[in-house]
Amino acid sequence: MNISILGSTGSIGTQALKVVDDLAGQKEIKVMAITGNSNTLLLEEQARQYKPQVAVVADQKKYTDLKTRLADTSVTVLCGEEGLCRAATLDNVQMVLSSIVGFAGLVPTMKAIEAGKDIALANKETLVTAGALFTDAVKKHKIRLLPVDSEHSAIFQSMHGGSRAELKKILLTASGGPFFGKTTAELKNITKEQALKHPNWSMGAKITVDSATLMNKGLEIIEAKWLFDVDFDDIEVVVHRESIIHSMVEFTDKSIIAQLSLPSMKHPIQYAFTYPQRLPSPDKSVSFSDIATMTFYKPDEETFRCLALAKKAGKMGGIMPTVLNAANEVAVAAFLRDEMGFLDIAEFVEKTMNSYKNKSNPTLEDIIEVDKEIRQ
């Protein structure tokens, strides 16, 4: 199988390359394209190791740097959104791993679908912001959409336990993040350093902050709605502190099927790469006697308002999830620059949502326009 990795320099991208290494000898995966935003040093290293056809740096100012670094190789160096779209649509590629963070992944991912590539989807923001267009394109171009987000991979795997008509609801698990159990007063002076320390997962900065505000779980509800075509009322969030159960589904007979493994993104990445097969993984097995207890709680939506806001935007539909997502990306970036407080993230998202009149059936142009407007 030939793949393109959009966002190869990120947390998901680098773990995906490890999975490619792990699978050598069992399933040959040739990496045809790698992309990063600006880290030319890592792109060079990856290009030398994996010898892709194309390497793309999104930041145009870094183009000459990457071109110089790879001058002695046969790798084609490209830049900007045009370069990302080329990487997403290479002729001899069967699967594209969409692992750019945020809205920047939308257009390249849509291009990959239109070019008939199967999608391994890590970038949940694309499905949140353009769910209807995205899923319509998946149906129209008859491609396979494989979830990489650990919860959605777990749901996908658990769904094999019954038929679609027998499904009652999805139980989406959440770790609760680093501030589980805290009150609003205690959250007031949270610093970026505190928010970036996740108890169970090591991830990129944006999703780590989203996990601390519980916006991540809100985005995942919308992601699940589109991936599995379920009503919002049939998705229940369950806080499970140990992150061993990655999500569950309940069937009409009240049987619950879950997927469990140690918290490692390599598991869902590998499953997306090998589906419908399962292949040996070098990762450790779950040891129940080591874990000893598993705990479950209701999420606190009053303190972690981002979760409630995401549910609201999801139920409203139309352009509102785009508004929610863009406002959140802007707020999280400001928080990471120490220009906004932790609680201001929800405040900003709510204010932005209130300032927009909803619009149903937005086009891709509408979505791009509204996203741009909010960033400005």
Spell out, one character per residue from 237 to 276, where the chain touches ligand NAD: x when CB under 6 A holds, - when not.
----------------------------x-----------
Q: How far is the CB of 109 from ligand NAD (least distance, A)?
A: 10
124 touches ligand NAD by CB under 6 A: yes
- The site that binds ligand NAD (CB under 6 A) totals a number of residues, namely 24
Q: Give the x/- contact pattern for ligand NAD in 130-159, rule: CB under 6 A.
A: -------------------x----------
Nearest-5° angle of CA 176, CA 333, CA 104?
A: 100
Distance CA 29, CA 4 (A): 10
- Which residues, in sequence order, are CB contacts of 252 under 8 Å at separation 6+? 166, 167, 168
The site string for Mg ion over 145-174 (x = CB under 5 A, - otherwise) reads ----xxx-----------------------
Instruction: Please state the length of the chain.
Output: 376
Q: Shortest Cβ distance from residue 61 to ligand NAD (Å)? A: 13
CB of 320 to Mg ion, least distance (A): 22
Q: Does residue 122 interact with ligand NAD by CB under 6 A?
A: yes
Identify the CA nearest to 98 among candidates 6, 12, 11. Answer: 6
Q: What is the DSSP letter of 136?
A: H
Q: Is 309 helix (H, G, I), strand (E, B) or coil?
A: helix
The residue ranges of DSSP E strands in the chain, in sequence order, are 2-6, 30-36, 54-57, 76-79, 95-98, 118-121, 145-147, 167-174, 235-239, 245-251, 256-260
Residue 223 binds: one of Mg ion, ligand NAD, none (C-beta under 5 to 8 A by kind): none
What does the alpha-carbon distance between residue 32 and residue 269 come to, in Å, rounded to a whole number?
Answer: 17
Contact letters for ligand NAD, residues 90-119 (x by CB under 6 A): ---------xxx--x---------------
In one-letter notation, the amino acid at residue 42 is L
Among 13, 52, 131, 314, binds ligand NAD (CB under 6 A): 13
Regarding 210 and contact with Mg ion (CB under 5 A), the answer is no
Tell me the closest approach of the beta carbon of residue 161 to Mg ion, in angstroms: 20
Provide the token pair at 72: 């002695």
Q: Please count the other Cβ atoms lying within 10 Å of the Cβ belonging to residue 279.
A: 12
Give the interface with Mg ion as residue ranges (CB under 5 A). 149-151
Give the interface with ligand NAD as residue ranges (CB under 6 A). 7, 9-13, 36-37, 58, 99-101, 104, 122-125, 149, 201, 203-204, 206-207, 265
